[in-house]
Structure 1
Amino acid sequence: MTTTVPRVFAFHEFAGVAEAVADHVVHAQNLALSKEPYALKNTGGSNSTPANSSSLNVPGSNGAGNAPVSRQSSSRSIGHSHSAAGSGLRGPSSSKLKKIKEKRFKIALSGGSLIQVLHEGLLKRQDVLWGKWDIYFADERLVPFESSESNFGNTKRKILDLIDTCTYGTPRVYHINESLINDPQECADDYEKELIKGFAGRDSVKLPMFDLFLLGCAPDGHIASLFPNFSENLRENLAWVVPVTNAPSGPSNRISLTIPVICHSHQVTFVVEGATKAPVVKTIMERPEKGLPSSIVNEGAAGRVAWFVDDDALTDVQVTKKKYKFLVNTDASQISPSPPVPE
């Protein structure tokens, strides 16, 4: 297995990782939301010019981009499209629009220490357009949401519950159906249907395409809930979501998005910290032929993969480190104190 070496950004301490990852996420958000929000019919002329959608509204302005988006009371939030009149766009009349579709930032999150990294880095920023986010989960442990093992539960407690939604809007969050946690296959099938609604709609697509897929990596080498030597799941190339039973660590029953879904994302980012991760990072970077899940992703998404790690995780690892170049303005006016972590 010959793997293209990913970009590896190294930092002396955890705070540096959190700050850089937050910048990376906001940059991905801005790229996603700068795309054209609608398509034109063939009008035979050039007088109708689309609005410049690259100018994003930051909370605190009077633009339409920071309008709060309310989640439905059910466990699902189904996307919708704005009308021409209500979108606030200056462009062609509604009769010349083929389709108006609100552009969203679609992100997949894993669990573990990644959630704390995002808590530390994102909540203190004032340029996170939460109301434009569609949040999915890379995997989930099939436990009640109140459990400390639940990825959605931890994300809710450490991030979602702490967002100032009046200012920044409410993200749409797509999680598993809690009533199905006793049936891994049914839970996986149900979550795959949610992805189909969010990414395919009436169209036929082979794979969903996330704007950003954020992953950690456990000391045993598993990412999301894809474990080494679980070859059946690692070789899956049709399903978007698979059930995982008898997992070798943690809760035994889980669901996970698959390798093809991860590799199809615009960007795939690993966030790894701590000396306990150094041995597995060494194997991933120096022995890709071992076929650990991260090595498979490094190969399958070559050119679109970045690793954010602290120095402890790179102990005795032979890899070229890069200095992270901040891409989003982070002056004092864009940063506010982080709210405390809930007990």
Structure 2
Amino acid sequence: MPATKVVVNIPGEVAYNVRIGAGVLASLGQSMRNVPSLAGAEQVLVITDTNVGPLYLSRAKASLAEAGYHVSDICVPAGEEAKSIAVIGEVWEAMAALALERDCVVVALGGGCVGDLAGFAAATYMRGVQVVQVPTTLLSMVDSSVGGKTGVNLTAGKNLVGAFKQPAFVCADTDVLATLPSREWACGCGEVAKSALIDGDEFFFWLSDQAQAMAARQADVVAEAIARCVVFKADVVAQDKTESRGVRECLNYGHTLAHAIEKLSGYGTYSHGHAVADGMRFAALLGESLVGTPAELAEAQAQLLDALNLPALDWKATPENVLETMKRDKKARHGQVRFMLLEDVGAWKLVDVDDATILRHLQTYFAGK
């Protein structure tokens, strides 16, 4: 199956290509040489983690070296542990010790955590160098590798320090998904479902029809789902690059509760995508009350998530603790929690919700578990 190219064209930014296909990692170096802003670079730093490095680092470095780049690498801990002030500080020091200059290129080889960390390193080292995203999880292929959000976590919450840094190129090799554990596969499916619900009827009904094939990792369905998600996200980001116009916030569907689940349960206890799926279930409940989300839509969403192996989480917390965590999230405004709610498939609304309403619906939601 030939590779697919999606062009991300964001106003005020240099357009970049997302290359999706089986085996495209082997031509990473040549693909980068074909990007004008990367063609003249000499130094490349690959940032990967302890899970991905043993699997794909040598392959990536060989392709880059074959294209004439001088390649170094840094391996960081796997998971959210890497997205810390301590680790980013070590990365900055390592980049300086390697004498990397302003024309160097950072290659993020890994999932969303590596992409966030490496992207932030590229956005800040010498006030900004080029970054290439090479996502190795379904979640990062369909979401975090596109759009330019980078960052690290603080004790107070997730992604509280970061920058917007668009990649110069994205290389999504679907072959690497073969080694993805089932938990991480379902995690990525959560973000695919989120995108389909926000995008509109065509994507949503297509995914509903293909849910079993998606869960079973059928190659053609997976490639199409990734491409659909990239096209959708690119269109949203083009309208609201820095999440300042209220458009890009639609991508936070399910994330308000999800971030609270991740923090209160301990990062890594549940995958990000599964937490988002639970957040979508809660948002549907809240939406039925506040914006008239059809009960049929809430049920169709639940059926889709179940088919993608994302059942409701067996997790509860006191509503007061959940609310307090939500209020510390970066999406809150003046201490007010904001939810992205669906009026219908493809029709959404941002709603500031008062504390009493949130507590009441959390009590109902947890009582149903």
TM, length-normalised to structure 2: 0.30
Higher RCO (CA 8 Å, separation ≥ 6 residues): 1
Considering fraction of residues, name the structure with more helix: 2
TM, length-normalised to structure 1: 0.32
Considering fraction of residues, name the structure with more strand: 2
